[in-house]
Amino acid sequence: MLFMTQRQSMTTLTNLITQIDNVLPQTQCTRCSYPSCQKYAEALATGDAEINQCPPGGADGIAALAEILGKPILELNPDHGVFQTRKIALIEEDACIGCALCIKACPVDAIIGANKMLHTVIADECSGCDLCIPACPVDCISLIEDPNQDWNIERKSRARLRFDAQHARRDIERLERNARLAAQAELLKKVRTGGTTNSTNKSDTVSQETPTTQSEFLAQIMANAQQKNKNNL
Ligand code: SF4
Ligand code: SF4
Ligand code: SF4
């Protein structure tokens, strides 16, 4: 009975989070002090945040949150910014050095380009979050008025999808990197075994440190190979 009650309240909480998230702008700008709209929705649903922390949502957004949560309407908390017209980022392409730091900063994959190539913003996908601006080392990104001020449900949904896809992709990359490091550590263990069999002098043995990055791994493989050659002379 208790289990059912807990499950029911979890379902109610999940539904409430979804309902809240659906009225949030999905710019993923972090101005609410949460890393995503979804996280702000979760904090609102559990009573850990106020309804007046999202500048991109405008006064209508605060009113919608007040209605869902049965709370009085509040003024926007200025600690989180001000209401403003929609902006999008523009890259001054002649000044771009192709460092790709803006791509890493963009939460909705609205920038295209590759290392050492100039980068450009996909205007219709840019949420105006401005997170790419401090990331640019040569200050060649600025915000301009979005010619399409209609941040409609379709653009919001695309921003959410792109944000979720980016996180899923980064999770996979992290898992692949960990798997690669584990395989390399295993290989290194075999190299070490071979490197220590003929040695009697402790200083002649290969390193037993466990590498934590790919470059450390490669450096250690090189050092072990050199030590092995020395021992075999
Ligand atoms: S739009 Fe920005 S401020 Fe509003 S909930 Fe999303 S991340 Fe927070
Ligand atoms: S291009 Fe810049 S402003 Fe636009 S969504 Fe990406 S990080 Fe935000
Ligand atoms: S951060 Fe600036 S310089 Fe680097 S790729 Fe982006 S726009 Fe170009």
For the segment 40-72, what is each residue's pLDDT rounded down to a tens digit?
999 999 999 999 999 999 999 999 999 999 999
What pLDDT, on the 0 to 100 scale, is given for residue 157?
A: 96
Place of tokens 């908390």: 77
What pLDDT, on the 0 to 100 scale, is given for residue 115?
A: 81
Lowest mean pLDDT among 25-34, 82-91, 143-152, 224-233: 224-233
What pLDDT, on the 0 to 100 scale, is given for residue 202?
A: 44
Q: Which residues contact 144 (CB under 8 A, 6 or more apart)?
A: 87, 88, 89, 90
d(CA 83, CA 91): 24
Strand 141-145 relative to strand 111-112, pairing: unpaired
Q: Could you read off the pLDDT of 172-231 as tens digits, one per residue?
A: 999 999 999 999 998 888 888 875 544 444 444 445 555 566 667 667 666 766 665 566
Ligand 2 pocket check: which of 84, 126, 143 to mutate, most ligand atoms within 8 Å of Cβ? 126
Residue range 138-147: average pLDDT?
97
How far does residue 92's CA lie from ligand 3's centre (Å)?
9
Mean pLDDT of the chain: 88
What pLDDT, on the 0 to 100 scale, is given for residue 6?
A: 78
In this predicted model, which residue has the larger pLDDT, 208 or 156?
Answer: 156
How far does residue 121's CA lie from ligand 2's centre (Å)?
8
Q: What percent of the chain has pLDDT over 90?
A: 70
Q: DSSP string of 175-188?
A: HHHHHHHHHHHHHH
Ligand 2 pocket check: which of 92, 127, 133 to mutate, most ligand atoms within 8 Å of Cβ? 127
**Nearest-atom index, ligand 2, CA of 135:** 7
**Nearest-atom index, ligand 3, CA of 139:** 2
Contact 92, 119 (CB under 8 A): no
Alpha helices (H) along the chain: 2-23, 37-45, 58-69, 101-105, 132-135, 153-196, 214-232
How far does residue 160's CA lie from ligand 3's centre (Å)?
24
Residue type, 118: L
Residue range 158-174: average pLDDT?
96
- The CB density around residue 168, as the number of other CB atoms within 10 Å, is 10
What pLDDT, on the 0 to 100 scale, is given for residue 197?
A: 45
Core vs surface per residue 186-224: b (16+ CB within 10 A) or e: eebeeebeebbeeeeeeeeebeeeebeeeeebeebbeeb
